[in-house]
Structure 1
Amino acid sequence: MAHLALSAARRWAQSPLALRIAVVYLTARVVTTLFLVLAASLSTSFSRFGADPGLVDFVLGWDAQWYWLVAENGYPSDLPLTDSGEVAENAWAFMPVFAYAAKAVGFVFGSWGAGALLISLVAGYFACLALHRLLRDHVGASAALWAVVFFATGPLGAMFQVGYAETLFLLLLFLALDATTRRDYARLYLFIPIMAFTRPGILAFALFLGLHGITRWFRRREDSLSGREIAHIIALGALATAAGFAWQVIAGVVTGDPGAYLATELAWRRHWIVGGVDGFVPFEGWVQASQFWFGLWGLPSWWGPTALALSVVAAGAALLYSPQVRALGSDLRLWSASYLLYLLAVFFPQSSTFRLVLPLSPLWGAVAVPRSRVWRVGVLALCLLGQWFWIYHVYAHGSTFWQVP
């Protein structure tokens, strides 16, 4: 028996990487499908999806409906208003690349939902390949493969199988980060514009490029920095910044309202703030949300900002001093810091927070660094437990404000 196990392990190690990742990915997707089937069987008339929904209902659920609406009807030239005269939720909050790509693929396979599912599944597999390539030179091939396992089976595993833009964005992000770490800046001229119109977050990448360039400048004696590379970094930073604000400009031009995009995003935030929201103030959302959640839990509201400050300090300390995180290299730590700062500046934390931290997935490499089998199996078990918990609440019983993915 031991000989057979050793032989199987040897064949597994010698098989092509793409095949091993495909086995990991498909196994993870089977598990997620079983979770979704179980969630469908537990769904009741009180759920958003009603009693006995099908898997197609989950694929098209929640924000996938907005992407479908974009693909079918485009974007409104007149912003919809609430009874009180404020801008209501509308399609301008959702970028066009995924919506129209799913429509193009769906034209071949018969429906927008089929196109959305295929793009999410296929992009998810290639994102796993890209994540392994991004991590292997820093943490080794074995740890990189375990990071892929955690990524594919993580608490947000359902995102690989629903009509959301997340996996397509992650694929583009991992490729862009890999190009940056390998100093292959030319590829970024393609990735940055597509990322910018797939999902919000390109401004975080602009900040990352700035920090990357500053770091390379101070390390230029150890890591030579040519004038050509300086020109690329500056041009790409400018491109990412311009692309990051382009959607706001487009929404303003089409609707005739320069603040159309921000007003649309704030339309979702108004549901959480007593008295509504007057306008967008950077970093205000997290303070407001921390007070909201701690008050909802029956705790003193001032505990919220205190907990937020401590969390920021803890995250900064981990990025600076944790040996496992430092093993990822400076670029991936700079990206993580940039994206966290971006979230702090623009986001109002609520039930979608877990989905919005997916761009921090390269940090799975730090989780995978410890070589203990008990540790890795334990993390895998927690990933699967977290995935079922998330699917159970979002799809089986998704009916209230804190169950929106």
Structure 2
Amino acid sequence: MAHRRLRSPLAVWGFIAVVYVAARLLTTGLFWIAAELSGPNSRFGADATIGSLALGWDGQWYWLIAVSGYPTELPVNDAGVVAENGWAFMPIYPYLANALGTLLGGYPTGALVLSLVAGYAASVVLFFLLRKRIGDVAAVWAVVFFANGPLAALFQMGYAESLFLVWLLLALLALSKRSFGWLYLLIPLMGYTRPGVLAFALLLGLYGIVRWFRRRADPLPTRQIVHIVALGALACAVGFSWQVFAAIATGDPTAYMETELAWRRSWVGPEEGFVPFSGFLTATAVWFGLWGLPEALGYVVLGILVAAIAGALLFAPAVRKLGGEVRLWSASYLVYLLLVFFPQSSTFRLLLPLTPLAGAVAVPTSRWWRIGVLVACIAGQWWWIHEMLALGDTYYRIP
């Protein structure tokens, strides 16, 4: 029946609002339970509240940036290497949240309202991105899974993820419609909200290659070639510009890279440098060593996982239905993570930009399948809130 109720954009916004509000009420209840379970060993302490959970961890960094800006002198730890600092976080979310806070009574309110509204907007855009590929009913279910998913707590936290998703999903929608002009605005918005715009640059490169080889069946005018090349260059420029800004502000050309490595070095020591792909290889050895398993087995598991994901993106019928833009983005973002990321507990959060793949899970028409997926989403959400917020007491319980 969803396709009959969603014939107008206003009906879409209203229907998804009902879905989203219901999901946020559920998450609020889970937050309340987590606050009650928070004990003296938790980062939040025995007197945790919904508000303290919502503004913890990276939310504190964004708040600090909104109030104090970025450091002009990099902090160092006892080992004499650069310590964690605000240059790891992009400026649009904290500054926009702070601006809202001046109207709403303070930064915490502004940050939470911004995350809530952005999560709703992302839900709406996700529906429009998927509906022509998988139909209204499946697109609605994809939104239901998204709004109630394992990472849905982020829509009620002082994190930039939901705002980044708005820009990303709008960019994918614009690309699917070949409305290239919008991307000149959306790419900088993505790039200065959260790291990841270099993955979009890779997407544009792959998109241009695919369009070139298919140009006889799908004409590729010169004007579109110019847009694709220019937008790819813009995404690269935006992606690397933050390193330049950090270098200028601090007088240290390695400021941004050293800042990012500060989080990794707490796992592997102060001598760790950056080499593409090394993060996943090093982390595989670290994790399998902690689990008492052979490192070689970890590399085999990593290889099998990469091959399985690549196979799903290339051949899985439900994924193929989502369209080339979504599949190319998913592949590009996963390659980006393999290149630069050191996987630990925040890996779950960093997978949120793969949200459009929720459409593939929604494609099967069995009612019991969809109900089962929804139950799994809510169970996963509670697990994430419980582990990362209610407990939050060890290095592997970091959002």
TM-score range, shorter chain: over 0.9
Matched AA of 2:306: V
Task: Decide which of 61, 66, 70 is 1:66's aligned counterpart.
Answer: 61
Moved more, 216-225 or 275-284: 275-284
Per-residue CA distance 1:115-163 (angstroms, 9 max, x = gap): 0000000000010000011111111111111000000000011000000
Answer whether contact 1:269 1:277 (CA < 8 A) is retained: no
Contact 1:207 1:237 in 2 (8 A): yes
Residue 382 (structure 2) aligned to one of 360, 382, 388: 388
Q: What is the alpha-carbon distance in structure 2 between the residues aligned to residue 20 and residue 293 of structure 1?
A: 44
Q: 1:3 maps to what in 2?
A: none
TM-score normalized with structure 1 length:
0.96
**Structure 1 residues 174-213: aligned runs within 5 Å:** 174-213=169-208
- Aligned residue type for 1:338: S
Aligned equivalents of 1:67 and 1:13: distance in 2? 37
Q: Provide the rounded CA distance (Å) in 2 between the counterparts of 1:113 and 1:215.
A: 45
Residue of structure 1 equivalent to 2:339:
345
TM-score, length-scaled by structure 2: 0.97
Partner of 2:354: 360
Q: Confirm or deny: 8 A CA contact 2:149 2:381 kept in the other structure.
A: yes
Say if 2:146 and 2:358, in contact at 8 Å, map to a contact too: yes
Compute the displacement of 1:14 (Å).
7.2
Identical pairs, percent? 59
The amino acid of 1:140's aligned partner reads G
1:282 aligned residue (265, 270, 276): 276
Unaligned runs of 5+ in 1: 1-5
- Aligned: 1:399 with 2:388: no
Question: 1:10 and 1:288, CA in 2 relative to 1: closer, same or farther beyond 3 A?
Answer: closer
Rounded Cα–Cα distance in structure 1 between residues aligned with 2:208 and 2:4: 43
- 2:119 paired residue among 94, 116, 124: 124
1:10 deviates by 9.6
Where 2:301 maps in the other structure, the secondary structure is helix
Distance 2:319 2:18 in 1: 27
> Counterparts in 2 of 1:41-190, with a 5 A limit?
41-190=36-185
Unpaired stretches in structure 2, ≥5 consecutive residues: none
Cα contact 1:28–1:153 (8 A) shared by 2:
yes
CA distance, structure 1, for counterparts of residue 128 and residue 217 of structure 2:
24
How much does 1:277 deviate?
A: 3.6
Alpha-carbon distance in 1 for matches of 2:24, 2:373: 18
Q: 1:322 aligns to what?
A: 316
Q: Distance in 2 between matches of 1:13 and 1:233?
A: 33
Match of 1:270 in 2: 265
Q: CA RMSD in A?
A: 1.3
1:371 corresponds to 2:365? yes
How far residue 221 of structure 1 moved from its aligned partner, in angstroms, is 1.3
Q: Give the aligned residue type for 2:165.
A: L
Q: Cα gap change, 1:187/1:243 in structure 2, threshold over 3 Å: closer, same or farther?
A: same
**Matched-pair contact (CA < 8 Å) for 1:319–1:325:** yes
Structure 2 CA distance for aligned equivalents of residues 215 and 158 of structure 1: 36
Q: Is the 8 A contact 1:286 1:348 kept in 2?
A: yes
- 1:241-299 Cα offsets, whole Å, 9 max, x none, are 000000011101111111110100000001111x4343100000001111111111111
**Structure 1 letter corresponding to 2:232:** G
Tell me the CA shift for residue 223 of structure 1: 1.2
Q: What is the alpha-carbon distance in structure 2 between the residues aligned to residue 82 and residue 263 of structure 1?
A: 12
Which residue is equivalent to 1:254? Answer: 249
1:19, CA displacement in angstroms? 1.2
Answer whether contact 2:265 2:272 (CA < 8 A) is retained: no
What letter is aligned with 2:53? F
1:11 CA displacement:
8.3
Equivalent residues, number: 397
In 2, Cα distance between equivalents of 1:19 and 1:265: 41
Query: 2: CA distance between counterparts of 1:29 and 1:11?
Result: 25
- In structure 2, what is the Cα distance between the partners aligned to 1:110 and 1:127? 25
Q: 1:266–1:277: 8 Å Cα contact kept in structure 2?
A: no
C-alpha contact 2:203 2:329 (8 A) present in aligned 1? yes
1:304 is aligned to 2:307: no
The answer on whether the counterparts of 2:125 and 2:170 sit within 8 Å (CA) in structure 1 is: yes
**In structure 1, what residue type is equivalent to 2:33?**
L
